[in-house]
Every structure is written in C-alpha cells, then in structure tokens.
Structure 1
Amino acid sequence: MPELPYAIDVVIELLLASPVHRYEGRPADGPRDATSREVHDSIQVRAGLGIVGDRYFGHAAHRTASVTLIAAESLDHVTHVLGVPPVDAAAARRNIVLRGAPVDELRGEVFSLDTGSGPVLFRAHRPANPCAWMDVALAPGAHKALLKRGGIRCEPLTSGTLSVGPAVLRTERVLAQPTLL
C-alpha cells in the first residue's frame, strides 16, 4: 500500500449497494422499484470488483468505476441553491456519501477509507457526472446544481469492510475543505 500521509476525519453518512439499475429510460417515467434493501450499515468491497451485491460488481466495463462517492456537502449545496428541503442522499445513487472531504478533488488520486476494520484503498478515476434523473429524483434543478459536484467513480485496489459512521480518509496530498458555494 502506498504511503498516504494526510489524514482527514470524515463521516460516512450512507452506503448504497443496489442489485438493479433503477434510473433507466426516461426520467419522466420514474425510477424502477427497488428489488431489495439498498441502504446498508456496512458493505464489503472487493479489490478490482466493486461492492458485493451492487449492480456493477464484477462487470468488466465498470472495473475502474465500480464504486461511486459523493460529498454530502454536494447534496447540501442542492438544498441551499434550490431552496428545497434536504434531499434523499440515497436518491443520488452513489455508493458512498461522505461528509468532511471535497470528494470531487480526489480525481486521479489514490486514497483510503477506514471505518475501523482496516483501510480500503481506492483509485479515483473519472467524475460521476449528474444526469437528468437528478431533476426527478432529488429536486427540479438538481442536475445543474450538481455540475462539477456529482462525485467520482473509483476502482477498489484492496478489499475490506466499510461502515456508516466516523471514518478516516487518507490521501497523498492535502485537500481543501468542502464548501456549499
């Protein structure tokens, strides 16, 4: 494991692993129904495969994008700029909702998350750009509000367990604090 000298105390607010892709077709038709429990207290991450039980687990086309993260502050931004009640974090369909770090700044970085069961190492690849579904799932205007704030798609480099609650994010460089504006 590479040396990751900078530690940030963060909170994992939500973990989502869904066996089905619920946002298919036209947003006006609404999302598909959940076929099983999607929000979890903990998840199992497997190196090179993704999250056990998730729709992208083990799919070759998604190896470098099998785990998605979004900053809780990005969802707060939607609430703030649109003047709407707090949005449902699970509706953003990101696997990990993380508070306390500027997730979108991690692009291209190797980082780890540790919730007490040992660090899980990731490489952040490309943005998880928001889609038109966000206007239906979160609030009208959310798609635009999440531009450049939609999170990142990551490849798990090691296996481990992540749980909801306090965590430590380790990085190779100092990150800025997340902001609403």
Structure 2
Amino acid sequence: MTEVEVLQLLVSPAHRMSGRPSDGVSPGPSDERVSRVEVRSELGLVGDRYYARPAHRNAAVTIMAAENLPPDADLRHTRRNILLRGIDIDAHVGATISLDCGTGPVVFAVKRPARPCAWMDVTIGPGAQRALRGRGGVRCSPLSDGVLTLGPATFRVVAGADTPS
C-alpha cells in the first residue's frame, strides 16, 4: 500500500475540447472540478461525458500523476478525471489498482496510457504534448462502485504489473 493524495477530481458533462485546437476550448462551466465523485462499475464517473458510453467503457476514467504537470496546470487543462500525488500511475498499465479515500476501496483496471494530444499545447503551453509523452496518465475501467473524495488516500495494486505497492 502507498499513501497518496487525491488533489483534484474532474467531472465534465460536455466535451469542450473538440475540433481543432486552434479554434480554442468550447464554452462550458468555469470549473468542472468537484470535491467528491461517484464511481460506477463498468460505467465510469456519474455525470461525466463518458459515463455509460459504450465506446468508452474500457477507458471511462483517466488518472494522472501531479508530479508530471507544471505547477500552474490542472485537470481542466488535461481532460483527465483524477489527479494523484505520490504515485507514478503511468507505470501501472496492465494492473488492477484500488484507491481508498476512507469510504472503501474503488477498484480500477488500468487499461492503457492516456496519450497527450495537441490540445495540451493550447491549454498548458507550447511543448506540453511532447513533454507529457509517456507521462500523460492512464485510461481505466472501474471494476467496483464507490466514492472518491479529495484528500489523503491509499493506493494499492490488487493484481498484475509487477508492482508491490
């Protein structure tokens, strides 16, 4: 087990970064970050644009390490859902992990890397897409229901990917 911190949670009801990055981000809520999120097995985050969407069931939730972001960037710039401090989440592709914020563990299958796109150069700054290659977070499928909140959490590798965390 590893003690981590959930720094930010983002639930975005609309896909605000579509089309060409040069067109800019579409209007939407000024802040889609939340302090608490409900996770549903095989469906995703309640209220998120990818919740229960068949095309995204294997990658409905994205998790990123805060250590990989510039200090002034946050989840609104990356389109990721969960920002963790204290674990190299990118090293856990292929593993089954759990996050417990004190309300019980929420289990995720870490399916694949969340590759940075050209939007990163617009929302974070020039060169961000290249700088985040291999460090852009992971796309996950939730395997259990539960609640995640901001603050201290316990990270554990349940199975797979040679990790004694």
Whole-angstrom CA distance in 2 between matches of 1:150 and 1:143? 9
Secondary structure at 2:42 match in 1: coil
* TM-score of the aligned structures, taking structure 1 as reference length: 0.86
Deviation at 1:34, TM superposition (A): 1.6
Q: Give yes or no for the alignment of 1:174 onto 2:164.
A: yes
Whole-angstrom CA distance in 1 between matches of 2:46 and 2:6? 18
Specify the code of the residue in structure 1 equivalent to 2:78: A
The partner residue of 2:133 within 125, 128, 147 is: 147
2:75 touches 2:81 (CA, 8 Å); kept in 1? no
The alignment yields a C-alpha RMSD, in angstroms, of: 1.3
Whole-angstrom CA distance in 1 between matches of 2:51 and 2:10? 13
Residue 77 of structure 2 is matched in structure 1 by 91
Residue 125 of structure 1 is matched in structure 2 by 111
More helix per residue: 1 or 2?
1
Deviation at 1:128, TM superposition (A): 0.4
Deviation at 1:174, TM superposition (A): 2.3
Whole-angstrom CA distance in 1 between matches of 2:155 and 2:35? 18
Q: Give yes or no for the alignment of 1:164 onto 2:131.
A: no
Secondary structure at 2:68 match in 1: helix
* TM-score of the aligned structures, taking structure 2 as reference length: 0.94
Secondary structure at 2:58 match in 1: helix
Whole-angstrom CA distance in 2 between matches of 1:60 and 1:71? 26
2:9 touches 2:75 (CA, 8 Å); kept in 1? no
Unaligned stretches of 5+ residues in structure 1: 1-6, 80-84, 176-181
Deviation at 1:36, TM superposition (A): 7.2
Whole-angstrom CA distance in 2 between matches of 1:27 and 1:168? 36
Deviation at 1:90, TM superposition (A): 2.3
Unaligned stretches of 5+ residues in structure 2: none
2:12 touches 2:32 (CA, 8 Å); kept in 1? yes
* Superposed counterparts of 1:65-144, under 5 Å: 65-75=59-69, 79=70, 86-144=72-130
Q: Between Structure 1 and Structure 2, how many residues are aligned?
A: 161
Specify the code of the residue in structure 2 equivalent to 1:167: A
Cα deviations across residues 19-74 of structure 1 (Å, max 9, x unaligned)? 11111011111011124751000000000000000000000111110000000011
Whole-angstrom CA distance in 1 between matches of 2:17 and 2:80? 12
Specify the code of the residue in structure 1 equivalent to 2:134: K
Whole-angstrom CA distance in 2 between matches of 1:135 and 1:105? 24
Q: Give yes or no for the alignment of 1:16 onto 2:6.
A: no
Specify the code of the residue in structure 1 equivalent to 2:13: P
